[in-house]
Amino acid sequence: MNYPLVARLLGGLCWLMGIAMLGSIPWAFPQLQVAEQFESDGCWALVASMAICFGVGTILRWVGRDARTLLYRKEAMAVVGLSWVLATILGALPFYLSGAARGWVDPSRGVQQPMTVADCLFESQSGFSTTGATVLTELEDPEIVPRSILFWRSSTHFLGGLGIIVLFVAVLGQGSAGKALMRAEMPGPSKEGSQERMQHTALNFAAIYIGLNVLLTLVLLLEGMTPYDALCHAFGTMATGGFSTYNASVGHFQSELIDYTLLLFMVIAGINFTLIYLALIGRIGTMWHDVEWRAYIGILLGATALVVGLSLFVYHDFNPDGSLSFGQEARDAVRYVSFQVAAIVTTTGFGTHDFDQWHQFARSLMFLLMFVGGCAGSTGGGMKVIRHVLFIKILGMEVERSFHPSVIRPLKLGDKVIGDAELKNQILLYFGLITFIFMLSWITLVAIEPDSTWTDAGQPVENKLIDSASAVAATLNNIGPGLGTVGAKQNYAGFSSPAKMLFVFLMMLGRLELFAILVLLIPGFWRSR
């Protein structure tokens, strides 16, 4: 292991984090006359956090001053894994140093619930991993969370959306090291790059990502949002994160136009950025011929149609009187269901309607959709659509081989042969690992979390099993909201500190697709040879 080189690259990441915090400081000043003390605390917390980032970065750069520049895959995986650990810690500093609170214990007496270390790490990792889960219960109260800190919270989505390392390569440049870093950052099955040089690819992806953020911000401004809200919701949408500036999330605006605007951009954010790049240069037909894109759109449309149909004709979630006039009730069903399906599949996690109150089949389907994810090469988290496509094809081949053992059939996507034994094993290994980690985390959460988490929230303890399962699925797949005590109108504030640290680990695992984090736990990985 080339430790000096790892230290030098991590030092550059610390500097990037410090620079990123600078953009949140101006948002403290317009609020000074509203809550002067709290915004002043937020401003100074950001300044102190920046100083720490630059200090740590300088020390790491000094440690790695004589490092050889050749970066192998082993060092690249170490840089990626450790960068997310380091980013989580540094990103938590503004929350901790500002004295931000989770909420009020007793608003009439002015008693607050301060954020613990676990809370700060949870909020930070939730932002960088674009999960969008939160422990904050009073987002709209500047006495609880300063606006500048809330903007930093959304900024972590912006940084994590395309991946800290991808932005690191694009902004700072790493020469031949860029290829190794990007491969370690995005280990999932993906298509051929749009350009030969990996740094150019990173620059193209970063340009598309920033351009879409700017475009969405301008559109939201035209639709009536303030610059503050427009930026925060653009960051949350294009990063498929889900942090909002309001307790009611996107539902706060009560705007059909805003809902459909964010729906469109959520869907775009879940598409492979290579396809978006090819479409921008005039090769839009490539998108239609892409198997993963067709499956992705099919899942969105199919799940929406199924839930809307059952909600209107069978369970009457939107038309409780059973009427079938296809008026406002049908419009509401299409609007809210399509938005929530897209928010779950793309792992954005925004909310416009409490899907936890829908019929049981819809709730079950939303839970299953948590394991889908966006396309490979998108900002979406989750397992990725391409893995499901390949997994189904592999299952079909194995079933056929059970009664035709002599048949040798290649693994294909469309008319292109892509299969080999290594890829097949990787897909099966990934599904096996996800299943094992989900089950182990689920039973661990049930064991360590006290029943009082549910009784204190006024919910029956019998919900503990399904609520715990949905919390694990929502964090492991970077969704955010789950069911029950972590439902669309709830949050993770009630969980114990050990449970929150488990969620931090799961969010990091899900964002880096397991391997870049799991290797850090293997002693042999750190040996020199």
Per-residue HEC secondary structure of 194-216 comes to CCCCHHHHHHHHHHHHHHHHHHH
- Range scoring the smallest mean pLDDT among 44-48, 187-191, 512-516: 187-191
Place of tokens 């931090």: 504
- Range scoring the smallest mean pLDDT among 3-7, 272-276, 413-417: 413-417
CB distance 518 to 127 below 8 Å = no
Structure-block tokens of residue 197:
């040089």
Q: In this model, does residue 175 exceed pLDDT 50?
A: no
pLDDT band of 125, cuts 50, 70, 90: very high
Q: What is the pLDDT at residue 190? A: 46
Q: In this model, does residue 39 exceed pLDDT 90?
A: no
Task: Please write the tens of the pLDDT for every residue from 232-242.
Answer: 999 999 999 99
Task: Please write the tens of the pLDDT for every residue from 284-307.
Answer: 888 888 899 999 999 999 999 999
Q: How far is CA 20 from CA 149, 186, 512, in A?
A: 13, 22, 21
% of the chain exceeding 70 in pLDDT: 88
Residue 506: partners with Cβ closer than 8 Å, 6 or more residues away:
437, 441, 472, 475, 476
Q: What is the pLDDT at residue 240? A: 92
Structure-block tokens of residue 160:
């994590």
Q: How far is CA 252 from CA 270, 349, 476, 489, in A?
A: 24, 15, 27, 12
Nearest alpha carbon to residue 318 among 338, 348, 300? 338
CB distance 470 to 453 below 8 Å = no
H/E element, 5: helix 3-21
H/E element, 110: none
Residue 415: partners with Cβ closer than 8 Å, 6 or more residues away:
none
Q: Residue 23, Cβ neighbours under 10 Å: how many?
A: 15
Structure-block tokens of residue 126:
């939730």
Q: What is the pLDDT at residue 325? A: 61
Q: How far is CA 357 from CA 38, 131, 259, 310, in A?
A: 36, 22, 19, 14
For 27-109, strand residue ranges (E) read 101-106
Domain ranges across the chain: 1-187+497-529, 200-494
CB distance 206 to 171 below 8 Å = yes
Task: Please write the tens of the pLDDT for every residue from 451-494.
Answer: 988 988 788 888 999 999 999 999 999 999 999 889 888 899 99
CB distance 333 to 306 below 8 Å = no
Q: In this model, does residue 75 exceed pLDDT 60?
A: yes
Q: In this model, does residue 254 exceed pLDDT 60?
A: yes
Measured between alpha carbons, how far is 507 from 500 in angstroms, rounded to an integer? 10
Find the mean pLDDT for residues 333-360: 93
Give the 3-state secondary structure of residue 514.
coil
Exposure on the CB side of residue 231, measured as CA atoms within 13 A: 15
Model-level pTM? Answer: 0.91
Q: State the chain's mean pLDDT as an integer.
A: 85
Amino acid at 380: G
Q: Are strands 101-106 and 412-413 parallel, antiparallel or unpaired?
A: unpaired
Angle formed by the axes of helices 73-98 and 117-128, to 10°? Answer: 130
